[in-house]
Amino acid sequence: MSKREPRKRAHDSTNEAAAPGGNDSEPPQQQIMPIINKRYMVEKFIINTVKKVVAVIIHIDFRKPPQEVRTNNYKSIENHEQGAKELMYYVHYEELDRRNDEWITLDKILVNEVVVEPVIKVPTKAPVEDLHKEIVVGPPVIKPSGALTRSQRRTLEEYSHLKTDLNDLDATTARLEREHEERTKVKNIPQITIGAHEILAWYYSPFPPDCENLDIYMCEYCLLYTPHHERFKQHIDTCKVRQPPGNEIYRKDHLSVYEVDGSGQKLYCQCLCLLSKLFMDHKTLYFDVDDFMFYVLCETDEHGAHIVGYFSREVESANNLACIMVFPPFQKKGYGKLLIQFSYELSRREGYIGMPEKPLSDLGKVSYRSYWWWRLMKLFHIHQGHTVTATFLSNESGIAVDDIVSTLITMRMCRQYKEPEFIPGEWYVRIHRKIVDHCVMCGYGKPPRLLLDRTKVRWAPAQTRPEFERQQQRTAAAMTSRRASKSQNVTPLVTPLATPPIEQKPVFQKTPTPRRR
């Protein structure tokens, strides 16, 4: 005889109708979804380890997940493009640069973890002796931690990759900066393959819509691109171009520089601008390349000239450089300073003192500061113990006065005087031996890794800049003092009237009577 089972109460928690996960009276917990412009803890893979970092959600969209293993098979790529989409989040990591922004899935966002709000420290005014001590020690010692004085922040911005705060800019520049960030905040190209290098994109670039969210394959010789690997292979087999479409104006060892005219080779220069925008945050020139000359640096071998970097400059402009770029696989090899030396050599041969177009990017500012210090330190050793003007240093070095002042003002080596024996508005530089020794100790003035050989530059301007300006002045003076032509000196004909003119009575003038004597 079986035992009688105990009677279950209606409110018993062991009711068989209840779900195995818990009481059916309690509604299931709904998953918290991330919100745009909110900070979350995110798991990121950094140097073979998974770390938790703070990130901001920038954009949310249904997208195809990225391929775990990249393949060169066109069919597999096509199948991946036709796959199902899922909700993905574009995040910006607060402690990293914008070039590290990426799309991630929901499982990498830790929505339940608490994010500590950032502490905003108000900078206090430092004593004069402490400020002098911090500045004299040099920028390599200053670390961007805690509150910074204005001098410390300016030093870090000049010599490090510290991003300029929008609050320190004027209203117009800050507004343009916010509009630029809003327009280019989401990367549209994951990766580009050029030559033997597969490079992850850093920033947004305005490629055509059919290339968005796809890997790009670009020919390193003619710079034509496509998102399809099979078409790229066919192009490589048939492409006969082996160097940039321009004149070779410099060759030394395995390096060559080609001068490419933007008006004559428009397609090549436009593709070059699209390629450089993938690794440059601030660049607005993409398609209007007619007024620019491009100088492409290449590594040459038996296969051809492989593009390394380039710089461009606007024709008939006071700037000797508009944009400079060394692509990521070739950075930290001295190519950037070699291009800077080349730009100053061209302006020297044209007979004017050039300067780069402002504002400079973070990497460009670091390279230019190092080059300017190297040129100025060579003059400091020659004129040590004297006080010279910034104009004198500009004529000797080929560097503009504004660039010299912005370089030396950080070390407090130049100033203006109000005394009558000094030239009003002129900057004076005191070259003291102790200051020069201190600059050497701080590492200023190190020579570039690659030095430009001026004898190898095969380039001469058709007309120097002073000759061009004198010709412009003569043309303007001739236009203002031009004598009228013969047709303009002839009395114009009378315009015929539709109605006969009204006959006017002659007016007789009364002759004065002579005086009697």
Per-residue pLDDT at 106? 87
What's the CA gap between 196 and 111, in Å, rounded?
40
Average pLDDT, the chain: 77
Per-residue pLDDT at 168? 59
Q: Are 278 and 293 in contact (CB under 8 A)?
A: no
Find tokens 């031009």 and name the residue.
482
Cα 470 from chain centre: 34
Per-residue pLDDT at 37? 86
Q: Would you list the domain boundaries of the chain?
A: 35-64+85-115, 191-362, 365-456
- Among the listed residues 177, 248, 259, 357, the single catalytic one is 357
pLDDT at residue 137 is higher than 70: no
Neighbouring C-beta atoms of residue 66, cutoff 10 Å: 16
Per-residue pLDDT at 514? 53
Per-residue pLDDT at 72? 47
The percentage of residues in the chain with a pLDDT greater than 70, rounded to a whole number, is: 69
Instruction: Classify strands 216-218 and 191-194 as parallel, antiparallel or unpaired.
Output: parallel
Would you tell me the crossing angle of helices 229-238 and 74-81 to the nearest 10 degrees? Answer: 150
Find tokens 């199902």 and name the residue.
84
pLDDT band at 362 (very low <50, low <70, confident <90, very high): confident
pLDDT digits (tens, 9 = 90+) for 64-114: 766 544 444 444 455 555 567 788 888 888 888 887 888 888 888 888 888
Q: Enter the pTM of the model.
A: 0.72
DSSP 3-state of 353: coil
Cα 75 from chain centre: 37
Is the CATH code 2.30.30.140 the one for domain 35-64+85-115? yes
Range scoring the smallest mean pLDDT among 224-233, 274-283, 319-328 = 274-283
The percentage of residues in the chain with a pLDDT greater than 90, rounded to a whole number, is: 36
The domain defined by 191-362 folds into Aminopeptidase (3.40.630)
Is the CATH code 1.10.10.10 the one for domain 365-456? yes
Would you tell me the crossing angle of helices 362-382 and 401-408 to the nearest 10 degrees? Answer: 90
pLDDT at residue 17 is higher than 50: no
Beta strands in 234-291 (DSSP E): 247-252, 255-261
DSSP 3-state of 262: coil
Residue 123 preceded by cis peptide, ω within 30: no
pLDDT digits (tens, 9 = 90+) for 380-413: 999 988 899 999 999 999 999 999 999 998 888 8
User: Active-site residue 350, yes or no?
Assistant: no
Cα dihedral 467, 470, 476, 480, rounded to 10, equals: -140
pLDDT at residue 6 is higher than 70: no
